Amino acid sequence: MPQIAPHSLLTLEAYARQRDDFRARVIEHKKHRTVRLGEHLTLIFEDELTVRYQVQEMLRIERIFEEEGIREELAAYNPLIPDGGNFKATMMLEYPDPEERRAMLAQLKGVEDSVWVSVAGCKPVYAIADEDLERENEQKTSAVHFLRFELDAQMRASLKHGAHLAVGVDHPRCTYAIPALDHPVRAALVADLA
């Protein structure tokens, strides 16, 4: 699995100098890694650059500069980098109004297990959600989930040879599908595959 090594990170001082340019680069990069499934569900497909940015931001916000703290952050974030046989995504349920958000998160329990990707000619692959910790309780689901989509060798080969990639969600309270991702998004995701 690809990993971000501690020595490859910028110091807090170096990051402060480069932050604006790095942030602009990541925002542009995420445009081709973001998929909206309807009005309220967004997937951001992670890769080394998006995760590196998250780590650098956490180190900055928490003022972490000691080796042990850096290793702890990397242990939390490195598993979000795809390993060549999968896609990994952060899923966000976005409701600006707090009351609507509270009500919808209660109605959307299990939505994280209802998100799928599908390679043309193959069965959908449903997300494996929240491997690090449980983000749902008896009352509601969380507004943020971490998803992994495992693709077999045939699916990966088909994608590399131009097969369409569909993405969707089929929860009873949230159903939406994109039958074929736009070329720039599809190309960014296929580049994650070994």
Please give the structure tokens belonging to residue 39: 């009005």
Sites in the chain below the pLDDT cut of 50: none
Q: How far is CA 144 from the centre of its chain?
A: 10
The pLDDT tens digits of the residues spanning 141-164 come to 999 999 999 999 999 999 999 999
C-alpha 45/C-alpha 192 separation (Å) is: 10
- Kindly report the pTM of this predicted structure: 0.91
C-alpha 142/C-alpha 110 separation (Å) is: 10
Q: Quick check: is 156 in a domain? A: yes
C-alpha 45/C-alpha 86 separation (Å) is: 11
> Which amino acid is residue 54, in one-letter code?
Q
Query: Strands of 165-171's sheet, edge to edge?
Result: 125-126, 115-119, 165-171, 174-178
C-alpha 147/C-alpha 133 separation (Å) is: 12
Q: Quick check: is 164 in a domain? A: yes
Q: Quick check: is 151 in a domain? A: yes
Q: Which residue in 11, 34, 16, 132 sits closest to 77, CA to CA?
A: 132
Q: Quick check: is 24 in a domain? A: no
Q: What is the pLDDT of residue 168?
A: 98
Q: Quick check: is 49 in a domain? A: no
Instruction: Name the domain count of the chain.
Output: 1
What range does the domain containing 162 cover? 97-194
Q: Quick check: is 108 in a domain? A: yes
Q: Quick check: is 70 in a domain? A: no
Q: What is the pLDDT of residue 130?
A: 85
Q: Quick check: is 83 in a domain? A: no
- DSSP state for residue 10 in the 8-state scheme: P
Q: What is the pLDDT of residue 131?
A: 77
